Amino acid sequence: MLTISELQFGTYILWQNEPAQIIWREQTKLGRGGSILRTKIRGLTSGAIYDQTFKGNDSVEAAEISRRRAQFLYSEGDKLNFMLQDDFDQCSLDKKTVGAAAKFLQDGMEVEVLLYGDKPINIQLPVKVELKVTYAEPAVRGNTAQGNVTKIIELEGGARINAPLFVKSGDVVRVNTQTATYVERA
């Protein structure tokens, strides 16, 4: 069992009979009372997001999640297919379950498949990936008058992120997959 002080960003827990991950947390200390932990929990099999507040003496059961290196092979309809690196078995996951991470996948990309027991339930991408810009509006002189020095660009997997004005179509950019933000040009 995990106490609220052990519930950090990225911690895997069992929530409503499914493995889940803490994706946001904010701890508040009350004057004379205990502390309160506000969290957002993402179900790894359903993809549902839960808002939950924990009080000082609450505890939660930890989920036993194992990781295996895998390579992304291809997308087929609503399924994403992966090959496990250690025994070359193949597994597939729904795009809905993988969520926004599916837009950052490239053919041949190495990821970690998260397993609950022996069942693949989700993936974890590398923190930073390099993707080609497929569409970026041209920068127009005077766009910085309001302090807006970014524009929305579209990447090869379909993801749309904010980037500086100098980024143009055909550039390769490095993106943080956890926050879906531009890092630098590659």
- Write the pLDDT tens digit of every residue in 55-106: 888 889 998 889 999 999 999 889 999 999 989 999 999 888 888 888 999 8
- Residues 110, 72: Cα–Cα separation, whole Å: 6
User: Are residues 100 and 72 part of one domain?
Assistant: yes
The predicted pLDDT at position 131 comes to: 92
Report which residue type is found at 26: E
Q: Does the global pTM surpass 0.85?
A: no
The partner residues of 53 in beta bridges, in order of sequence, read 38
**Inter-residue contact 90 to 73 (CB < 8 Å):** yes
| Residue span of the structural domain in which 100 resides | 65-124
Same domain, 47 and 80: no
Which of 106, 124, 142 corresponds to the end of one domain? 124
- Stretches where the chain sits below pLDDT 50 are none
Residues 175 and 141 reside in one and the same domain: yes
Alpha helices in 4-163 (DSSP H): 95-98
Residue corresponding to tokens 């090869």: 156
Query: What's the pLDDT score for residue 148?
Result: 64
Looking at the structure of the chain, the number of domains it has is 3
The number of CA neighbours under 13 Å toward the Cβ of 1 is: 5
Last residue of a domain, one of 60, 81, 108: 60
